[in-house]
Structure 1
Amino acid sequence: MGVRGLLRDLGRWLLAAFMAVAGTGHFLAADTFRAQVPSWMPYPEAVIAVSGVIELGFAAALLFTRERRALVGWLLAAFFIVIFPGNISQFVTGTDAFGLDSDLARGVRLLFQPVLVVWALWCTGAWRDWRQPADR
């Protein structure tokens, strides 16, 4: 494994840690996560709990899957896209949470979401596998 592989593994471990902390936070600080659930979404407490379980599942999948790692990357990228309306809702409603207490901070947070998508695709090899022919 070369430097790129080591960097990709490090990125995957860091993303797994990020997902584990975020997933755990859904249960330890559920009120804070309420800021990202749009008002039109029913059962916000269930949304918070289910998304926390999903994030913990992604953390484990990032660490312990090898055969389906690229699939995990695509699914995680899709998850980051699916939850993006919550970040938009927090920005539009001006809800303070996660230390985001200004429109500028909430706006900068919006810009970070594409980084998460790219990170998931890169560190799992999903992007690389998609670009290469199947008959390597």
Structure 2
Amino acid sequence: MRKAIARWFLVMLYGLAGVLHLALPAPFIGITPGWVPYPAQVIAVTGLCEMLGAVALAQGRWPGLRRAAGVALALYAFCVFPANIHHMMMDLARPDHGLGYGYHLPRMVAQPVLIWLALWCSKDSRQAGG
């Protein structure tokens, strides 16, 4: 039951994030590190990946596909971590400190949790250690 709740939480989180990446890309483009080529296209692709990952994680018919989605979303969360760090450093360097530590520190802690959660909740409970 806990895995199902966690899985549906991630489905909603990544589904919403994917829609936001496509519908309102400007804030995401704004926090993309300068070394990322074609930021608008990268943001669009990441939005599509989030939505596809959410759909694959939501389905229950093919546990292998759900597991692949969990691994893909974990890798995605790992790969966007530099953008989150860049956003924090850029934001905190502002004279007003932007969103502040109250936003950025929990976000930094949440990223590894999201990675673990995607791997854990996508694992078939019938597997060993499930």
TM-score class normalised by the smaller sequence: 0.7 to 0.9
Unmatched runs of 5 consecutive residues or more in structure 2: none
The answer as to whether partners of 2:14 and 2:53 remain within 8 angstroms in 1 is: yes
Distance (whole Å) between structure 1 residues aligned to residue 101 and residue 85 of structure 2: 11
Cα distance, 1:82–1:126 mapped onto 2, change above 3 Å = farther
Q: Report deviation, 1:126.
A: 6.7
Distance (whole Å) between structure 2 residues aligned to residue 44 and residue 127 of structure 1: 38
Distance (whole Å) between structure 1 residues aligned to residue 114 and residue 34 of structure 2: 24
Unmatched runs of 5 consecutive residues or more in structure 1: 1-5
The answer as to whether partners of 2:57 and 2:67 remain within 8 angstroms in 1 is: no
What is the aligned length? 123
The answer as to whether partners of 1:87 and 1:110 remain within 8 angstroms in 2 is: yes
Matched, 1:107 2:105: yes
Cα distance, 1:126–1:101 mapped onto 2, change above 3 Å = farther
1:19 to 10, 14, 21: 14
The answer as to whether partners of 1:16 and 1:60 remain within 8 angstroms in 2 is: yes
Distance (whole Å) between structure 2 residues aligned to residue 111 and residue 72 of structure 1: 22
CA offsets 1:33-80 (integer angstroms, 9 cap, x no match)? 123311221111011100000000001000125231222222211111
